[in-house]
Structure 1
Amino acid sequence: MIKHLEKVPVINKLKQRLFTDWIKPSQLKQAGILNMNKRNVDYIARYNDRSAYPLVDNKLKTKLVLKEYEVSSPKLLEVITEQHEIKGFRELVQKLDGFAIKPAKGSGGKGILVITGRDGDAFVKPSGSKVDLADIQRHLSNILAGLYSLGGSPDVAVVESLVRCEPMLANYSYQGVPDIRIVAFKGYPVMAMLRLSTQASDGKANLHQGAVGVGLDICTGEALHAVQFDRSIEHHPDTGQPLNAIKIDDWQKLLVMASRCFEATNLGYMGVDIVIDEEHGPLLLELNARPGLAIQMANGTGLLPRLRAVEALRRPHFTAEERVAWSMAHLGAASKPLSQPATEIEASEPVAVGA
C-alpha cells in the first residue's frame, strides 16, 4: 500500500513559523488555522445535528449503519451486553488467535484491548506482554460497568476480528496499527493524516500521547509533513523510517469511504478513522463528531481556507465520488492556493490548536 518517493520539500517559511515555541495570532491568521472556539461554534454546532451524536458515539451502531452504505469495518465476532454473558467468553476465544475488544461508547482509544496471539493459556498483547482469561473477563466487566464510556454510562463490549496491518505500512509504526484520520466537511474530504504509534505513545495512534502525525496530500495520499509532540520530524523516532517516503495506494477509495459517511450520518463536520488491513483493505474504525485540530500541525497548514471553499460552493455535489473528485482537484498540495478572507481569525481570539 506504500510507494517510496523522493524527498518532498514541504516546509516553507510560513510552516516553519508554525512550529516555533511562540506563535502570534497574526501568523495563525495567515496560515488559516482553525482554533477550538471557531471549530465548536461555526462548524460543530452549526453543521452537526445533535440527534446524530448517539450514532457516531456508539461504535456498534456506527458499524451496523455504515454497512448499508458499503463502508467496510472489522468483522463483528461478538457483542457482550450483560455481566452473566462474560462467562461464555471462554468458548469464543478458544477458536481465536487474535481479536480486539472495544467499549461501544468509548473515546480516545480508552478501554480497547488488542490480542495478537496466544502462548499456551496466555493471551499476547502487541507489546509482547501477556494476560490471562481472568484479566480479559475483568476488562469486559469494567466495560459493561461504564468505566470507559462517555459520561460513565453502562456500556456493551464489542469483540472484533484482529486487524492485520498492511506489511509495508506496518514498518512505519511501533507495535500498534497505524490509522488514517480524514476530516470530512459536508461530505468533502478536506484534510488527512496518517497516525503512527510510538514507544512514547505506548503503541497507540494518539498524537497527544506521543504518536507521530504525518500530513497527507488530499490529491495523492503522499506525505507532506510530520510532527511528534507538535515538533517537525523527518524519521520515525523508533523505527527510523523516513516519513517523507510514504504514499498511500488506493487513496481515492479511502476518500470515497470517508465521504459516504456523510450520507449515512448527515454529520456536516466529522473525523473518519480508517485502517488498512492486509487481506481486506481499508476498514472503518470509527467516526468522531468532534475531531481534534492537531491534524493542522501534521499538515503544516490550516483548515479554514478549505472549509470556506466548501461553504462557498453554489452547487454542492450529490455523490461521494463527485465530492471526492472536487476535493482532489481543488485541495491538493499542487492545487491553486485558496483565498483567505481577512476576517477569518481575529487577533483577540484564543488560539488553542492542539485539541
Structure 2
Amino acid sequence: MIGLIRRIRDAGVLTMNRRNAEYIMEYNNRRHYPLVDDKLRSKQLAEEAGIRVPALYCVIEIQRQIRRLPELLAGRDDFVIKPAHGSGGTGILVIAGSQYGRYRRANGTLITEDEIGHHIANILSGMYSLGGQPDRAILEQRVEFDPMFDHIAHGGVPDIRTVVFRGIPVMAMVRLPTRRSDGKANLHQGALGAGLDIATGETTTAVCLDRPVTRHPDTGAPIAGVRIPDWHDLLTLAARCYSLAQLGYLGVDVVLDYHQGPMMLELNARPGLSIQLANRASLLHRLRRIEAMERLPHNPEVRAALAREMFSDPE
C-alpha cells in the first residue's frame, strides 16, 4: 500500500489541501453550494433539465407528519428514505420489501413502521445533516440495479462517481457495496471502489478501505474487465451536470437502473480523493491538462468525447 501511495504521489497526487485551495475555492462559487447540498433542489434542477432521477414519493418536513406514516407508506414496500442535506451516505434507509408485517431492509433485516418513524425523526433533528442543522426526509424510488453487477456487489446498489472539471469528465469509478458497508456504496464504510477506464468504461484496478484488491470480498468474483453499458451516454450525463450545478469542480453520482437506465443520484461540491487510489492515477495531472486549455466545447456530448480521447492512454 505504501508503494502504491508513493507511486501516485510521484505522479502528482491531488492532496486535500491542494484540492481545496486550487480547485474547490478557485472554481466553486459558494453561492452555488445550496444547489448540490440540498438533494431536493438537485433533483428538481435535474428534472427541469430533462435528466432522469429516482421518482420522489413525498417529503417529510415536520415531526407531526410522522404520524401519517401508515398513509404515506400505504401500498409501498420498496423505497428509500434519505436526509435532504445528508453527506457521506449517512442516514440512508433502504427498504426492499416486506415480510411478517414488517419492512425488510436491503441487508435482509426486518424493521417495524415505528422504527422507520424513529429513523425519520432522527433525520429531522439533523443527526445526519451537514452542520447538524434540522433537515427534511426524502421518500423516493428504490433503484433496481442492473444485473451485470450481481457478481461484484453485495446487498445494495452500486453507483458510478465521476469527477467533472470545467465540464469535462476527468476520472470515474464504480462504488460496489459489500457486507461490511451494510450494502451501501460508501467507501468509508467498507464499499469497494473500482477504477474505470475513461475511454471505455471498463473496470480496471480496485481498492477496499484504501487497500488494493482484485476480487470482491464477499462474492470472490474478479473486479477488472466489467464494461459499463452505454458508457458515452453516462459520461455525457455527467458533463451535462456542469451547467446544472454551476460548479467548476464537481462530483456526479449516477446509478444504472435495470428498467430505466442511468439516473442522477446526487451531486457533490467536494468530491473525495480516493478515486485516485481506485484508478491508481493522478487527478492533478488530468486537471492541469484541462486548465491548460483556453477554450472548451460547449456541447456536453462533445465534452464527453474529448474526455475519452484525452484520457485514453494509461498514465
Q: Structure 1-normalised TM-score?
A: 0.86
Q: Does 1:62 align with 2:52?
A: no
Query: What is the Cα deviation at residue 197 of structure 1?
Result: 1.1
1:309 to 261, 274, 289: 289
The Cα offsets for residues 280-302 of structure 1, whole Å up to 9 and x where unpaired, read as: 11111111100000000000110
Where does residue 12 of structure 2 map in the other structure? 32
Where does residue 9 of structure 1 map in the other structure? none
1:322 to 302, 306, 309: 302
Query: What is the Cα deviation at residue 88 of structure 1?
Result: 1.4
Query: What is the Cα deviation at residue 21 of structure 1?
Result: 5.8
Where does residue 94 of structure 1 map in the other structure? 74
2: CA distance between counterparts of 1:198 and 1:28?
26
Q: Secondary structure of the equivalent of 2:82?
A: strand
**Is the contact made by 1:170 and 1:178 (CA closer than 8 Å) also made in structure 2?**
no
Tell me which structure has the larger Cα radius of gyration.
1
**Is the contact made by 1:174 and 1:239 (CA closer than 8 Å) also made in structure 2?**
yes
Work out the percentage of aligned pairs sharing the same amino acid: 49
**Is the contact made by 2:8 and 2:281 (CA closer than 8 Å) also made in structure 1?**
no
1:201 to 178, 181, 184: 181
**Is the contact made by 1:170 and 1:177 (CA closer than 8 Å) also made in structure 2?**
no
Where does residue 202 of structure 2 map in the other structure? 222
2:64 to 52, 70, 84: 84
1:243 to 202, 206, 223: 223
The residue type equivalent to 1:119 in the other structure is: Q
Q: Does 1:281 align with 2:281?
A: no
The size of the alignment, in residue pairs, is 315
Instruction: Write out the 4+ residue segments of structure 1 that deviate beyond 4 Å after TM superposition.
Output: 21-24
Query: What is the Cα deviation at residue 268 of structure 1?
Result: 0.5
Gaps of at least 5 residues in structure 1 are 1-18, 338-355
Q: Secondary structure of the equivalent of 2:46?
A: helix
Query: What is the Cα deviation at residue 225 of structure 1?
Result: 0.7
Query: What is the Cα deviation at residue 28 of structure 1?
Result: 4.2
Query: What is the Cα deviation at residue 311 of structure 1?
Result: 0.8
Q: Does 1:73 align with 2:53?
A: yes
RMSD: 1.4
Are residues 78 and 152 of structure 1, via their aligned partners in 2, closer, same or farther at CA, if it must alter by over 3 Å? same
2:162 to 182, 185, 192: 182
The Cα offsets for residues 37-58 of structure 1, whole Å up to 9 and x where unpaired, read as: 1100000000000001111011
Are residues 147 and 23 of structure 1, via their aligned partners in 2, closer, same or farther at CA, if it must alter by over 3 Å? closer
Gaps of at least 5 residues in structure 2 are none
2: CA distance between counterparts of 1:300 and 1:186?
22
Q: Secondary structure of the equivalent of 2:161?
A: strand
Q: Secondary structure of the equivalent of 2:153?
A: coil
1:253 to 233, 254, 268: 233
Q: Does 1:130 align with 2:130?
A: no
Query: What is the Cα deviation at residue 145 of structure 1?
Result: 1.4
Q: Secondary structure of the equivalent of 2:182?
A: coil
**Is the contact made by 2:158 and 2:175 (CA closer than 8 Å) also made in structure 1?**
yes
Query: What is the Cα deviation at residue 315 of structure 1?
Result: 1.6
Where does residue 52 of structure 1 map in the other structure? 32
Q: Does 1:171 align with 2:151?
A: yes
